[in-house]
Amino acid sequence: MLTPKVQLLLTGNELMTGDIVDSNSAMMAQVLKDIGLGIMRKVTVADDLALLVSEITYMASTSDILIINGGLGPTVDDLTAQALALAMDEELSEHPEALAHLTAWCKQRGNALNGPNLKQTILPSSCRIIANRSGSAVGFSVRYKDCDIYCTPGVPHELKVMLQEQIIPAISKKSPKNLIADITRLQVFGLGESSLQKMVDEKLAQWPADIDLGFRAGKPLLEVKLSINSERGLALKPLWQKKLADALGHHLIAEINEKPYSLAQHLINQLQQDNIKVTTAESCTGGLIASKLTEISGSSNCFEAGFVTYSNNMKTAMLNVSADLLTQKGAVSEEVVIAMAKGALLKSHADIAIAVSGVAGPSGGTEDKPVGTVWLAWGGINDIKTQCLLIPYKRNHFQQFVAEIGLDLLRRYQKNITSIPNYIIDNAFTTKR
Amino acid sequence: MLTPKVQLLLTGNELMTGDIVDSNSAMMAQVLKDIGLGIMRKVTVADDLALLVSEITYMASTSDILIINGGLGPTVDDLTAQALALAMDEELSEHPEALAHLTAWCKQRGNALNGPNLKQTILPSSCRIIANRSGSAVGFSVRYKDCDIYCTPGVPHELKVMLQEQIIPAISKKSPKNLIADITRLQVFGLGESSLQKMVDEKLAQWPADIDLGFRAGKPLLEVKLSINSERGLALKPLWQKKLADALGHHLIAEINEKPYSLAQHLINQLQQDNIKVTTAESCTGGLIASKLTEISGSSNCFEAGFVTYSNNMKTAMLNVSADLLTQKGAVSEEVVIAMAKGALLKSHADIAIAVSGVAGPSGGTEDKPVGTVWLAWGGINDIKTQCLLIPYKRNHFQQFVAEIGLDLLRRYQKNITSIPNYIIDNAFTTKR
């Protein structure tokens, strides 16, 4: 049995105008790679019926699997079902299963079914429905010219769920049985792609060819991926994964086989395990650290309160930071973040705190404290650590990165990891695509 | 003279494996749009000689302009020149101008010319060189099958410079002089794609064909885009834009020709104009509203403090919400969000506040207050409005949507817009991208 030929057809005016960057096809490539399949060719066209029909006809005749992405929505420019029916010379008809899905979807939300919605139930007669538990439009699949065609929604999270739960298992079943696809991901923070590459070149020069090593830069966590397709690779894996983990040292956040965790999730897990409560005192991040913590389900067990003290007056009123101290040292200073952390601990009765104050820019910088300067203080009331960083990114990247650093500093504190990486040199936020 | 047909051919293994997301084609679409050209179709393939030859042959015969991106580098998998020469049945030869460029490039950097570098000077005989002032590989162009083919480097900043300085001016010279590309975007909140489509079908049935109407669902703002490329369309625009704006009513946030604004930016602009200060009292959104406000540069003029009161105790300690009230009515209640808003106003001395308390889930729901229930209170100390919503999304979507609703409610309050849309029915968070 040969490895199936896979092609992608992406449709949407927004993909042709430069209004959005296509990230769906990278996501599809990644999940397909996990079952040992590559993508041979992808074609992107606007919402144009004639073009879609001609692409579908040609692509179906030159692939074993064709994934069509986009064009399932309720508006007139959503043409996938119509184009597929034309290509296959088949009728469009109301699909009972699609109608049932849409009716339930609307009912659950208290919405009335309207005409545009109903358009989403008019599908090629021979199609099989692919359930969508996170959106109104169902996916569907057909077999045409010996090719399995899967039609999928353009909304990234709907696509992702549908791929993981429905399409990948269906494709797997039809693919060669001897494919091994063993994937392990190492999550890394505070180290960038080029440093990683250099480290591997220097410390792991004998890396075996049977274990494919890939890097994926992310914000904030960089991922090192070990992919194995052979028995030989599987046998070598434990030794080399250990060597890699040792080389990564305290930059390594976790070794995982499943869904990656965020830094906030890692921290919340640790705090829950230790039965510890945390609080936040934020100036330049303006509530972002608190919101990253509370995004995690179960955070109420370890987070009761956060203080967003954006002005000097409010640092005094809410956290008892002395007005004299603010005048003498300035809001962006070691003394002030320590006072903010202490104030937050006393007011919230939490066990540990993180406090941040910095110059997010674009204005507000001085010669002493240029835009990008940030002071952080963290720890328990009798054991407060501090750090000053200069983070040369534009405002929202600065805020995001400072918030993630804050979470990592708390995670290290709670795990008794005393080392702190150089977050600034060559981190994931500075590397190119 | 007809508008030229433009196609893109992107080549590179990294584009097929999901290791990088293609942002080059969005960049190309944007610079082409500036001279009134759209992209009809794009094809992406791995570094495979046979596939490249067949794509080039077909695409050259179906377009007036073909831009090939990638495959110009020094390594063995860079195949563009070879594929193009094969497609055109032409010899490859060392190009003197390319050699001169590369020699100068290496000299300037103190590098010796090596074999892999020299490969970059071996080009189809008939090609014209496109200078590259930011990289070692030159671009080149040929004319084949009445199609102008431009071969460009994959490195984004090299591509960008080459497009702006060389290719776009060359294409402009050959394109119709009377091209118009007039784009207006209407930002909409609290209304989804299918409702919008229905509204257009019903109220604007005579919409003129000369004004292209496109929808782009976003989180949270949906965008309605009017694209015009004829004098006739321009003449019709004022009337029909007005009709559309009237139909959108208070769902219309702004009509813009340039960079779209976020809801937080719209609010901050209004607050700055009115010299008004705002504060936040957040339970279920955990600091997200504050962080959205402080992401905006200049927010310090109208935001001093935010209160993240996640537990009941902290609602009492930080905002003076009565413990009895919390016991009697529960944290998710009209009375409690009013007390939170009042407490935040008194503690922060702000002019207006937003307070939210809800059940973000996945646990914590009851029969009376299921997961997704949220109470909001907003306004000035003597004029507090309230609203209860049931938002049936998973935790982080719930939080994001509640935060955006909070910003919109404040925006409406400050602009004296008394109507409140039904945020839940058919909003942008449930529809496709």
B19-49 pLDDT, tens per residue? 778 889 988 998 888 787 889 999 999 889 9
Asked if pLDDT for residue B132 goes beyond 50, the answer is: yes
How many domains, chain A? 3
Q: Strand B65-69 vs strand B147-152: parallel, antiparallel, or unpaired?
A: parallel
In a domain, A429, yes or no: no
Asked if pLDDT for residue A429 goes beyond 70, the answer is: no
pLDDT tens digits, one per residue of B61-88: 999 999 999 998 877 778 999 999 999 9
B205 lies in the same domain as B169: no
Q: Is B135 exposed, middle or buried (0-12, 13-18, 19+ CB in 10 A)?
A: buried
% residues pLDDT > 90 (chain B): 59
B169 lies in the same domain as B247: no
Task: For residue A307, name the pLDDT band (cuts at 50, 70, 90).
Answer: very high
Residue contact A40–B46, C-beta within 8 A: yes
Average pLDDT of the segment spanning A169-195: 76
Is the N-terminal amide bond of A220 cis, ω within 30° of 0?
Answer: yes
B255 compared with A178, residue with greater pLDDT: B255
Distance CA B192, CA B176 (A): 37
CATH number at residue B58: 3.40.980.10
- Secondary structure in 3-state letters for chain A: CCCCCEEEEEECHHHHCCCCCCCHHHHHHHHHHHCCCCCCEEEEECCCHHHHHHHHHHHHHHCCEEEEECCCCCCCCCCHHHHHHHHHCCCEEECHHHHHHHHHHHHHCCCCCCHHHHHHHEEECCCEEECCCCCCCCEEEEEECCEEEEEECCCHHHHHHHHHHHHHHHHHHHCCCCCCCEEEEEEECCCCHHHHHHHHHHHCCCCCCCEEEEEECCCCCEEEEEEECCHHHHHHHHHHHHHHHHHHHHHEEEEECCCCCCHHHHHHHHHHHHCCCEEEEECCCCCHHHHHHHCCCCHHHCEEEEEEECCHHHHHHHHCCCHHHHHHHCCCCHHHHHHHHHHHHHHHCCCEEEEEEECCCCCCCCCCCCCCEEEEEEEECCEEEEEEEECCCCHHHHHHHHHHHHHHHHHHHHCCCCCCCCCCCCCCCCCCC
Q: Minimal Cα distance from A319: which residue of B?
A: B318
In a domain, B324, yes or no: yes
A219 lies in the same domain as A269: no
Q: Minimal Cα distance from B346: which residue of A?
A: A317
Distances (CA, A) of B293 to A231, A308, A362, B49, B375: 53, 11, 15, 52, 20
Q: Report yes or no: A116 and B191 within 8 Å, Cβ to Cβ.
A: no
pLDDT of residue B428: 39
Phi, psi (deg, nearest 5) at residue A91: -75, 155
Average pLDDT of the segment spanning B214-222: 75
Average pLDDT of the segment spanning A29-53: 91
Q: Report yes or no: A278 and A254 within 8 Å, Cβ to Cβ.
A: no
Residue contact A286–B307, C-beta within 8 A: no
Q: Which of B19, B51, B307 sits opposite A216 (nearest CB)?
A: B19
In a domain, A144, yes or no: yes
pLDDT of residue A430: 35
Closest CA to B379 of B266, B254, B262, B281: B281
B202 lies in the same domain as B91: no
Please, what is the average pLDDT of chain A? 89
Distance of alpha carbon A23 from the chain centroid: 11
Q: Minimal Cα distance from B286: which residue of A?
A: A291
Distance CA A273, CA B364 (A): 21
B13 lies in the same domain as B143: yes
pLDDT tens digits, one per residue of A209-261: 889 887 776 667 888 888 887 889 999 999 999 999 999 888 888 888 766 78
> Chain B: nearest CA to A413, how far in angstroms?
23
pLDDT tens digits, one per residue of B262-320: 899 999 999 999 999 999 999 999 999 999 999 999 999 999 999 999 999 999 999 99
Q: Minimal Cα distance from A216: which residue of B?
A: B19
In a domain, B428, yes or no: no
In a domain, B432, yes or no: no
Residue contact A286–B293, C-beta within 8 A: yes
pLDDT of residue B426: 45
Q: Which of B156, B295, B432 sits opposite A154 (nearest CB)?
A: B432
Which residues are registered as beta bridge partners of A130? A139
In a domain, A430, yes or no: no
Distance CA A152, CA A140 (A): 7
Q: Centre a 10 Å sphere on the Cβ of residue A201 and count the other Cβ atoms it contains.
A: 10
Distance CA B184, CA A76 (A): 20
The order of strands in the sheet holding B278-282 is A383-390, A373-380, A352-358, A278-282, A303-309, B303-309, B278-282, B352-358, B373-380, B383-390
Interface test with chain B among A157, A213, A304, A321, by most B beta carbons within 10 Å: A304
Task: For residue B150, name the pLDDT band (cuts at 50, 70, 90).
Answer: very high
Asked if pLDDT for residue B431 goes beyond 50, the answer is: no
Task: For residue A20, name the pLDDT band (cuts at 50, 70, 90).
Answer: confident
pLDDT of residue A337: 98
Distance CA A98, CA A132 (A): 10
Residue contact A73–B399, C-beta within 8 A: no
Q: Which of B196, B197, B300 sits opposite A310 (nearest CB)?
A: B300
Q: Strand A139-144 vs strand B222-228: parallel, antiparallel, or unpaired?
A: unpaired
Residue contact A313–B306, C-beta within 8 A: no
Q: Which of A26, A137, A288 sits opposite B287 (nearest CB)?
A: A288
Residue contact A304–B294, C-beta within 8 A: no
Residue contact B44–A45, C-beta within 8 A: no
Asked if pLDDT for residue B176 goes beyond 80, the answer is: no
- Count the residues in chain B: 433
Which residues are registered as beta bridge partners of A92? A124
A279 lies in the same domain as A188: no
Average pLDDT of the segment spanning A276-291: 98
> Chain A: nearest CA to B303, how far in angstroms?
7
Average pLDDT of the segment spanning B244-264: 85
> Chain A: nearest CA to B43, how far in angstroms?
4
Among A210, A239, A256, the domain-final residue is A256
Interface test with chain B among A10, A17, A25, by most B beta carbons within 10 Å: A17
Amino acid symbol at B4: P
Amino acid symbol at A360: A
Distance CA A387, CA B357 (A): 34
Q: Report yes or no: A88 and A105 within 8 Å, Cβ to Cβ.
A: no
pLDDT of residue B403: 97
Closest CA to A285 of A234, A332, A319: A332
Q: Minimal Cα distance from A399: which residue of B?
A: B295
Q: Report yes or no: B153 and B134 within 8 Å, Cβ to Cβ.
A: no
pLDDT of residue B57: 95
A/B interface, count of CB pairs below 8 Å:
272
In a domain, B425, yes or no: no
A267 lies in the same domain as A227: no
CATH number at residue A344: 3.90.950.20
pLDDT of residue A176: 63
Residue contact B430–A13, C-beta within 8 A: no
CATH number at residue A231: 3.30.70.2860
> Chain B: nearest CA to A10, how far in angstroms?
10
Distances (CA, A) of A38 to A25, A415, B45: 12, 40, 11
B48 lies in the same domain as B23: yes
- Is the reported ipTM for this assembly greater than 0.85? no
Q: Report yes or no: B214 and B155 within 8 Å, Cβ to Cβ.
A: no
Average pLDDT of the segment spanning A408-422: 89
Closest CA to A229 of A34, A411, A13: A34
Task: For residue B400, name the pLDDT band (cuts at 50, 70, 90).
Answer: very high
pLDDT of residue A219: 66
A126 compared with B198, residue with greater pLDDT: A126
Q: Which of A26, A286, A317 sits opposite B291 (nearest CB)?
A: A286
Distance CA B291, CA A280 (A): 13
Phi, psi (deg, nearest 5) at residue B220: -100, -15
Distance CA A79, CA A72 (A): 7
Q: Report yes or no: A92 and A119 within 8 Å, Cβ to Cβ.
A: no
Residue contact A21–B26, C-beta within 8 A: yes
- Secondary structure in 3-state letters for chain B: CCCCCEEEEEECHHHHCCCCCCCHHHHHHHHHHHCCCCCCEEEEECCCHHHHHHHHHHHHHCCCEEEEECCCCCCCCCCHHHHHHHHHCCCEEECHHHHHHHHHHHHHHCCCCCHHHHHCCEEECCCEEECCCCCCCCEEEEEECCEEEEEECCCHHHHHHHHHHHHHHHHHHHCCCCCCCEEEEEEECCCCHHHHHHHHHHHCCCCCCCCEEEEECCCCCEEEEEEECCHHHHHHHHHHHHHHHHHHHHHEEEEECCCCCCHHHHHHHHHHHHCCCEEEEECCCCCHHHHHHHCCCCHHHCEEEEEEECCHHHHHHHHCCCHHHHHHHCCCCHHHHHHHHHHHHHHHCCCEEEEEEECCCCCCCCCCCCCCEEEEEEEECCEEEEEEEECCCCHHHHHHHHHHHHHHHHHHHHCCCCCCCCCCCCCCCCCCC
Residue contact A307–B308, C-beta within 8 A: yes
Distances (CA, A) of B329 to B324, B368, B369, B376: 8, 12, 11, 15
Candidate ranges A201-215, A362-376, B98-112, B182-196; pick with highest mean pLDDT:
A362-376
pLDDT of residue A194: 63
Candidate ranges A80-89, A99-108, A248-257, B154-163; pick with highest mean pLDDT:
A80-89
> Chain A: nearest CA to B181, how far in angstroms?
12
A286 compared with A155, residue with greater pLDDT: A286
pLDDT of residue A193: 65
Q: Which of A23, A75, A294 sits opposite B197 (nearest CB)?
A: A75
In a domain, B367, yes or no: yes
A269 lies in the same domain as A336: yes
Q: Which of B30, B33, B156 sits opposite A433 (nearest CB)?
A: B156
Chain B hits for A135, CB-CB cut-off 8 Å, are 430-432
A167 lies in the same domain as A28: yes
B157 lies in the same domain as B302: no
The CA dihedral of B45, B48, B51, B55, to the nearest 10 degrees, is 60
Tokens 């439009």, located at residue:
A137
Domain encompassing residue A104: 6-174
Distance CA A391, CA A413 (A): 22
A228 lies in the same domain as A280: no
Among B256, B283, B303, the domain-final residue is B256
Chain B hits for A317, CB-CB cut-off 8 Å, are 305, 347-348
Interface test with chain A among B37, B67, B159, B194, by most A beta carbons within 10 Å: B194
Residue contact B30–A41, C-beta within 8 A: no
Among A151, A174, A197, the domain-final residue is A174
> Chain B: nearest CA to A433, how far in angstroms?
6
Please, what is the average pLDDT of chain B? 89
